[in-house]
Chain A
Amino acid sequence: MATTATTGLPEHHVAHHFDSAQQEFDSNKMGMWLFLASEIMMFGALFVGALIFHTLHPAAFNEGSQHLDWRMGTINTFFLLTSGLTMGLAVIAAQSGRQGAVRLNLVLSILFASGFLVVKFIEYKLKIHHGTLPGRLWHGEGFHDPYVHVFYGLYFVMTGLHGLHVLIGMGLMTWCLIFRASSVQFNRKYFTPVELVALYWALVDLIWVFLFPLLYLIG
């Protein structure tokens, strides 16, 4: 294990079943992209359900999304985009071997992500207060369209699953912060963990970028 002078952390060595670091990096990256593909297909199926419901009952969709608070959605978008920025900076820091900058950016990303979850929690509390919950739990007033509870069913499923993925992303960041950043020296030859967490987080951003207008802005 060659240890670098600056941080005294061990360098990464290539796993035994890979022939070269390049092959390992390419495999890890392709593996991550395939995992992201299955995530996109999972969310994509939900988007298909939402689009089909939108074409079948546009009135319910409009009425439902009017009662959503677009201001909270915008704050959430800002939070996610900023945490996407800090994750990008973390990758740059990892590539140039600045271990401290990597840690800082990871912490910032985790903060912004938790900000997103706080706003999301407030929104859900608001919904519970208004009684606009899916299906049998519905006790909202002042709604006209008979299909509006289905809109809220879809709203909770999509934002809930996305929120779960934000939580998983935060878990990955903490794992990268605690276990990887302190046990192996990132440098030009090895920055895979930060790169893959950044890829996963960019996907969470991508899903929110489509989710936000579809649910909040089209009403």
Chain B
Amino acid sequence: MEHSENELGHLTTKNMVVGAYVALLVLTGVMLCLSRLNTAALSVDWLDVHAIKVTLIMLTALVMGVIISMFLMGLRYESKLLNMTIFASNFVFLLIFVLFTWADTSFRGEIDPTFNQHINFVSPVKAEPAGAQGHSVAP
């Protein structure tokens, strides 16, 4: 009876923590191998291999994030869903923020392409790039 009376949060067990740690190390290794892939060698014309590599890396990062939040932060064993909703609503708001800002920045100049040019800006990078260094183009 005494034990359940002060049931303050779930009892974190050793194998849960160590298991999460090992899983995270393995996934870091996976991420590294993925990033070392030489996308040029595997290039298949109809497939954007670089984009797939990037998404796979970010997916492994997401899995690691879930492992950390579920096991190390103990969200998995919370009785009430309150802390879980707080944690999840963060990402909902960030998703809204990135989606709408992306909807602006990547769709500018749909009607009038001149809106999308950066004209006569001075980049401190000295090397003479092919791109938009300081040209003032009358549209």
A contact residues vs B (CB 8 Å cutoff): 21-22, 25-26, 29-30, 33-34, 36-37, 40-41, 44-45, 47-48, 51-52, 55-56, 70, 74, 77-78, 81-82, 84-85, 88-89, 91-92, 95, 135-136, 138, 140-149, 188-191, 195, 198-199, 202-203, 205-206, 209-210, 212-214, 216-218
Q: With A85-B18, A213-B57 given, name 20 new contacts (CB 8 A).
A: A21-B6, A26-B80, A33-B82, A33-B83, A37-B87, A40-B91, A44-B94, A48-B97, A52-B105, A55-B105, A56-B105, A88-B17, A88-B72, A91-B12, A189-B8, A202-B73, A209-B24, A213-B58, A213-B60, A218-B57
Q: Is the interface of A mostly helix, strand, loop or mixed?
A: helix
A138 partner residues in chain B, CB cutoff 8 A: 124-125
Check if B24 sits within 8 Å of A81, measured CB to CB: yes
Q: A202-B73, A213-B35 are in contact. Are A33 and B8 (CB under 8 A)?
A: no
**Could you mark each residue 38-73 of chain B with 1 if its beta carbon is under 8 Å from any beta carbon of chain A, else 0?**
000000000000000010011011001100110011
Among A40, A188, A218, point to the contact of B54 (Cβ < 8 A). A218
Q: A91-B12, A146-B132 are in contact. Are A78 and B28 (CB under 8 A)?
A: yes
Check if B9 sits within 8 Å of A48, measured CB to CB: no
A70 to B58, CA, bound (A): 16
A82 partner residues in chain B, CB cutoff 8 A: 21
Q: Is B129 an interface residue (CB 8 A)?
A: yes
Among residues of B, the one whose C-beta sits closest to the C-beta of A136 is: B124
Among residues of B, the one whose C-beta sits closest to the C-beta of A137 is: B124
Check if A217 sits within 8 Å of B31, measured CB to CB: yes
A89 partner residues in chain B, CB cutoff 8 A: 14, 17
Check if A84 sits within 8 Å of B72, measured CB to CB: yes
Check if A48 sits within 8 Å of B20, measured CB to CB: no
Among residues of B, the one whose C-beta sits closest to the C-beta of A199 is: B73
Among A33, A144, A209, point to the contact of B64 (Cβ < 8 A). A209
B20 partner residues in chain A, CB cutoff 8 A: 88
Q: Is B138 an interface residue (CB 8 A)?
A: no
